[in-house]
Amino acid sequence: MTGLTKKLEVNKDVKLALDSVADSSSWTKGEIIQKSIEKTWTTPLRKPLNEMKLDDLIQALYDGYVRKDIIMQTGSRPNQEKLDELVTSYNKHKMAQSYTYEDGISDGIQFALSKLNINIEGINL
């Protein structure tokens, strides 16, 4: 064993829940684990802790945790066909005279995210 530990990759809701308790002076790690086993977290922010597997919770508390990469959340990386379609669409928009610079930027970002099956709150949701 090398002594290196890997941080647990978690989704946005679990990360927010862990952030709210992990460095808290209100609960020890043991109390956090106990409340999760008993499924007694009641606030919407912390409810995801009730659903975590015990080993994942322990790993997150002792080894650390990080939010999953957005591309990993989509389940796959973009294929060449999607990228080619993106480039073609970009070239059409670039040549269109009726678009302002800001319109083009906004449309391009939203189009790219939709073609790559990536959803970002506040951008294309």
> Are 57 and 94 within one domain?
no
> Are 26 and 52 within one domain?
yes
pLDDT at 111 over 90: no
Question: What local confidence, expressed as pLDDT, does residue 2 receive?
Answer: 47
> Are 13 and 63 within one domain?
yes
**Is 1 part of a structural domain of the chain?**
no
pLDDT at 99 over 70: no
Name which residue leads in pLDDT, 72 or 113: 113
> Are 40 and 57 within one domain?
yes
Q: Which tokens belong to 7? A: 């941080």
Q: How many residues does the chain have?
A: 125
**Mean pLDDT of the 23-28 span:** 81
> Are 40 and 85 within one domain?
no
> For 120-123, which contacts have Cβ atoms below 8 Å and span 24 or more sequence positions?
120/70
The angle formed by the CA atoms of residues 82, 102 and 104, to the nearest 5 degrees, is 30
Q: Within 13 A of 94's CA, how many CA atoms are on the CB side?
A: 6
**Is 85 part of a structural domain of the chain?**
yes
pLDDT at 97 over 60: no
**Is 56 part of a structural domain of the chain?**
yes
> Are 46 and 82 within one domain?
no
User: Residue 99: which domain range?
Assistant: 76-115
